[in-house]
Structure 1
Amino acid sequence: METSVSLLCLPCAGASATMYLRWRRLLPLWIRIVPVELPGRGSRLAESPVQDFDSLVAQLCAEQAEAMRGEFAIFGHSMGALLAYGMACRLRSTGRALPVALLASGAAAPSRRDPGRFADKTDDASLIADLRKQGGTPEEVFASAELMRITLDVLGADYRVCEGFRYAGEAPLPMPVHVFAGRDDDIEAERIYAWSAEAGGAFSLDWFGGGHFFIRQQETAFLAALSQRLGKVVARDRHASHALA
């Protein structure tokens, strides 16, 4: 493709956006990966985590204004998918430029989330059990008291962000919504299919072998599907623009 598309990538709960850095060498050059780091982790470790969903979404939309110039899409995995949805809704409500597509991975639809899911995840033992169940956390984190403390503090804050989300039942987003899911994840299929109600444009759902972190377990196949879905959206948009010119 002649020009690049910025792909803002939002991390899952407890994680840093550095989880997406390797994609820069695995995806086509026309996809410009923009890892969106959240306060309290990675390069922003010195900052306090934001624990309110709406506040975090508003902050991210302000911070990423430069990255959202020109053509861009927003991707998120798990909690990141919820934040990506929140950002798309906020951009629409504030009259800002919209992403060419919303790409959501490993997450129930906003209308089908279980707000009680995080109610009992308040102590270290339950948070550690959740990390073990989900997979995806390196063993060196569990082996280091310091890394474990940082991870648990961030995870607890992120769970409060998720718990504070309230579905407003807004009109479908005026853009394609592409969803990716793992067949062995513990999210029921109908809660993932419900993303279709948020799509004002095209909708797709790609399934992969593996659990919640199928994006790592099936990385090659997943990234191929991601680039294919995004490529079709961009090609369609550019064709429409040329037709109107």
Structure 2
Amino acid sequence: MTKTTLICFPYAGGSSAIYKPIDGFLSEKIELVTMELPGRGSRFSEKTFTTIDEMVNDALLWFNENQPRNYALLGYSMGSIVAYEFYYKILQNRFKPPLHMFLAACEPVGVKRKPKGIAQMSDSEFINFLMNMNGTPKEVFANQELLDIIIPSIRADFLAVDEYNYKPRNLQIGCDVTVFAGEDDSISRENILLWDKYVRNGCKYKFFKGDHFFIRDSHNEIAEIINKAL
């Protein structure tokens, strides 16, 4: 049986652990592979990336080595930006495109974003920024030793997003695309629906109950959609 490899890219500050609960609901015909970034998980000792390009090129190294026969891409928030850029890197290197792309919790890459000034933030300002994002467990902020360990990698991710420079493409995405979003996310539904402009045949959309991190309570539903699509 030839499996479809689901290549996953995490959100800023996330590790491969964010996708493990989904894996338990996926079809046996799907193999989940998460692109673990340096500075966390099994790559904790490696120097962190501070640009989207570095993340894309790192994923390409894995792809060149493994060259999955059938594959799909899944990105969450920052991971959606990486997945988008990775799609074009794949085509540039003359590999066949993915069967499907799943883009979650992210407005289209071409939507103008107001820079958050991550590079200029002090550590305390950055920690307050993270607390307002509501993506990090409150217990983490009570543990200064743990904060000192994880802040550098989280900050590197947010810096990569803050300084990402979108370059328009003449070629739209040619594979099927499904967009996931939270009903209570700060990203407007209007902006989410703009993904259609980047995809040749338009997108399918699924809105989940919850905010930007709806993935926490939607593992089964997300896996079910992926199973049907692949």
Give the structure 2 partner of residue 86 of structure 1: 85
What is the deviation of 1:209?
A: 0.8
Give every structure 1 segment of 4 or more consecutive aligned residues whose post-TM-superposition deviation is greater than 3 Å. Answer: 117-121
Distance 1:107 1:222 in 2: 16
Indicate if the aligned counterparts of 2:104 and 2:179 stay in contact, CA closer than 8 A: yes
Q: Deviation string for 1:99-137 (max 9, x for gaps)?
A: 111111001111114151355772223332333233332
- SS of the equivalent of 2:6 reads strand
- SS of the equivalent of 1:64 reads helix
Give the structure 2 partner of residue 215 of structure 1: 215
Q: Deviation string for 1:71-101 (max 9, x for gaps)?
A: 0011011101111111001111222222111
Q: Equivalences for 1:101-180 in 2 at 5 Å?
A: 101-119=100-118, 122-170=121-169, 171-180=171-180
Distance 1:77 1:109 in 2: 12
Distance 1:57 1:168 in 2: 15
Distance 1:175 1:139 in 2: 39
Distance 2:105 2:120 in 1: 19
Alignment coverage as a number of residue pairs: 229
Cα distance change on mapping 1:77 and 1:161 into 2, 3 Å? same
Q: Equivalences for 1:47-86 in 2 at 5 Å?
A: 47-86=46-85
Letter in 1 for 2:81: L
What is the deviation of 1:188?
A: 1.5
Distance 1:115 1:227 in 2: 36
Indicate if the aligned counterparts of 1:111 and 1:194 stay in contact, CA closer than 8 A: no
- SS of the equivalent of 1:32 reads strand
TM-score by length of 1: 0.85
Letter in 2 for 1:179: V
Cα distance change on mapping 1:56 and 1:219 into 2, 3 Å? closer
Indicate if the aligned counterparts of 2:115 and 2:163 stay in contact, CA closer than 8 A: no
Distance 1:220 1:94 in 2: 34
CA RMSD of aligned residues (A): 2.0
Cα distance change on mapping 1:113 and 1:70 into 2, 3 Å? farther
Letter in 2 for 1:72: Y
- SS of the equivalent of 1:84 reads helix
Letter in 2 for 1:146: E
What is the deviation of 1:62?
A: 1.4
Give the structure 1 partner of residue 20 of structure 2: 21
Distance 1:87 1:207 in 2: 24
Q: Percent identity?
A: 28
Between 1 and 2, higher relative CO (CA 8 Å, sep ≥ 6) is seen in 2
Which sections of structure 2, spanning at least 5 residues, go unmatched?
none
Cα distance change on mapping 1:157 and 1:73 into 2, 3 Å? same
Letter in 1 for 2:191: R
What is the deviation of 1:225?
A: 2.4
Cα distance change on mapping 1:172 and 1:227 into 2, 3 Å? same
Distance 2:151 2:60 in 1: 26
TM-score by length of 2: 0.91
Give the structure 2 partner of residue 226 of structure 1: 226
Cα distance change on mapping 1:213 and 1:24 into 2, 3 Å? same
Which sections of structure 1, spanning at least 5 residues, go unmatched?
232-245
What is the deviation of 1:37?
A: 0.1
Indicate if the aligned counterparts of 2:119 and 2:159 stay in contact, CA closer than 8 A: no
Indicate if the aligned counterparts of 1:15 and 1:151 stay in contact, CA closer than 8 A: no
Give the structure 2 partner of residue 194 of structure 1: 194
Which stretch of the first structure deviates more once superposed, 112-121 or 98-107? 112-121
Distance 1:164 1:16 in 2: 21
Q: Larger helix proportion, structure 1 or 2?
A: 1
